[in-house]
């Protein structure tokens, strides 16, 4: 399964496992978006 | 001795000795330095564009490196154009600082005049620092001391840009004294495509 893409300056690539874990933790702890 | 037309900077005559060349260049350079400093009002005055980054296609986060340095203490970050896959809020974090973000948002829905507020404490990023919609991305972030070993202070604007959405102003802080050179913008849901991130520094000298 394709992992989410991360961009660092001009480089766009799939997240590493560590980056994905940090991203998922942040999303899980995020407040409900006001615009949803 | 010959001089330049507008500022009368001294330049060597055609008959000047080559052995005096180093001194002549030093004198000319100093004159240019002095004139520029006076004309601009400082070494790095005003609001200056530091970095411009185009956002890629379908990305879940965007990091901008080499944004902050000792040259400036305070910065403005704008995000415009592009689109989001849903209507997310844009979260903002400093690379190297993974926790301790405090955010508070005062807002109202576009179809209401009732003031509302929401906050997040000790989070992994600043919340509500911008917005995304199918037609645009929007952020107007001010950050104080991201590079300096001082508390980081942020203000931002949330604007859902949809009829049923909301708009308001956020403030936040992070007490970390870690020096950050880069930042990351992460949508609270979905992905971002296109648009541009502009980083400006406020002149300090």
Q: What is the pLDDT of residue A26?
A: 80
What pTM was computed for the model?
Answer: 0.87
Confidence class for position B167, pLDDT limits 50, 70, 90: very high
Among candidates B99, B77, B68, B54, which has minimal Cα distance to B192?
Answer: B54
Does residue A36 register a pLDDT over 60?
no
pLDDT greater than 70 at residue B27 = yes
Asked if A31 is an interface residue toward chain B (Cβ–Cβ < 8 A), one would say yes
Q: What is the mean pLDDT of chain B?
A: 95
| Whole-number pLDDT of residue B43 | 84
Residue-range domains of chain B with CATH: 2-40 (no CATH), 47-202 (2.60.120)
Please provide the DSSP assignment of B114-182 as one string.
--EEEEEEEESSB-SSEEE-SS-EEEEEEEE-TTTTS-EEEEEEEE--STT-EEEEEEEEE------S-
Which residue in B139, B141, B160 sits closest to B87, CA to CA?
A: B160
Q: How far apart are CA B203 and CA B205, in angstroms?
A: 6
Q: Is B120 on the interface with A (CB under 8 A)?
A: yes
- Per-residue model confidence (pLDDT) at position B164: 87
Chain segment B122-132, per-residue pLDDT in tens: 999 999 999 99
Say which of A23, A29, A35 has its CB closest to residue B131.
A35
Residue B200: its pLDDT value, please? 97
Q: Which residue of B has its CA nearest to A4?
A: B60
Provide the pLDDT for residue B94.
97
The CB density around residue B25, as the number of other CB atoms within 10 Å, is 12
B117 and chain A: CB distance < 8 Å anywhere? no
Judge whether B123 and B176 are in contact, CB under 8 Å: no
């Amino acid at each position: 399964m394709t992992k989410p893409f991360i961009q660092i300056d001009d480089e766009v690539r799939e997240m590493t496992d560590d980056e994905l874990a940090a991203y998922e933790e942040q999303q899980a702890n995020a407040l409900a978006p006001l615009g949803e | 001795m010959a001089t330049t037309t507008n500022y009368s900077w001294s330049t060597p005559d055609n008959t000047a000795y080559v052995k005096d060349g180093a001194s002549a260049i030093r004198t000319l350079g100093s004159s240019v330095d002095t004139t520029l400093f006076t004309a601009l009002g400082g070494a790095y005055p005003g609001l200056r564009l530091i970095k411009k980054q185009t956002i890629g296609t379908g990305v879940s986060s965007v990091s901008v490196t080499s944004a902050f340095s000792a040259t400036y203490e305070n910065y403005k970050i704008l995000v415009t154009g592009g689109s989001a896959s849903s209507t997310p809020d844009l979260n903002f974090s400093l690379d190297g600082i993974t926790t301790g973000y405090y955010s508070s948002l005062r807002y109202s829905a576009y179809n209401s005049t009732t003031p509302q507020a929401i906050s997040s404490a000790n989070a992994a990023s600043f919340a509500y620092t911008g917005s995304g919609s199918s037609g645009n991305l929007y952020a107007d972030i001010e950050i104080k001391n991201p590079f300096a070993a001082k508390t980081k202070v942020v203000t931002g604007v949330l604007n859902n840009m949809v009829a049923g959405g909301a708009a308001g102003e956020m403030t936040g802080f992070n007490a970390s004294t870690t020096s950050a050179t880069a930042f990351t913008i992460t949508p609270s849901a979905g992905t971002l495509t296109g648009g541009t991130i502009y980083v400006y520094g406020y002149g300090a000298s």
